[in-house]
Amino acid sequence: MEVILIGFMGSGKSTISKLLGEKLNLEVRDLDQVIVDYENSSIHDIFLTKGEPYFRQLEFEMLQQQADFNGVLATGGGTIINGNCASHVQASDVPVVLLDMSDNAIEDRLGKRAGRPLASSKTTDELIELKHERDGRYHECADFVVKTDYKNPKQVVDEIIEYLK
């Protein structure tokens, strides 16, 4: 891999990964989509039918399978809360970029929670609390942090490219 994007749900990992891949002429993979394709089921349905522990184990296995992928990998918002995933990401030589957003941005970006299993049943305050719980792990795993508030995707991509140089 050339770069791994991490961050809370709604931080822009999917959008930024696509733009970054275009700018760097690299293939892009979204770990959640890899899981969906493998299971032939939505993330939401996997959570409902098989539970979060099953999903987190599968997420780790799919992350390991990406080791030889030469491109941009966007992870799920909870990928690095799994200790195995966090250790795997930290042990790699691949730059890990955290897309970080403020509490105010959470309400703006996650107002429509459809399709997000953990967000659909939480209030905005609970989502902010969840992000705060995860912040330490995000920062621990990150080699570089981009504050995404008040930036358009192009500005975020440009900042990442400058870092990668």
- Name the fold adopted by 3-164: Rossmann fold (3.40.50)
Residue 1, pLDDT above cutoff 60: yes
Tens digits of residue pLDDT in 30-48: 999 999 999 999 988 998 8
Taking the CB of residue 61, how many other CB atoms lie within 10 A of it? 13
pTM of the entire predicted model: 0.90
Nearest to 82 by CA among 46, 41, 119, 134: 134
> How far apart are the C-alpha atoms of 130 and 132, rounded to whole Å?
5
First to last CA, the chain: 15
Residue 154 burial (CB < 10 Å; 0-12/13-18/19+)? exposed
Residue with tokens 């791994």: 4
> How far apart are the C-alpha atoms of 49 and 75, rounded to whole Å?
22
Tens digits of residue pLDDT in 85-110: 999 898 889 999 999 998 888 777 66
Q: Which amino acid is at 77?
A: G
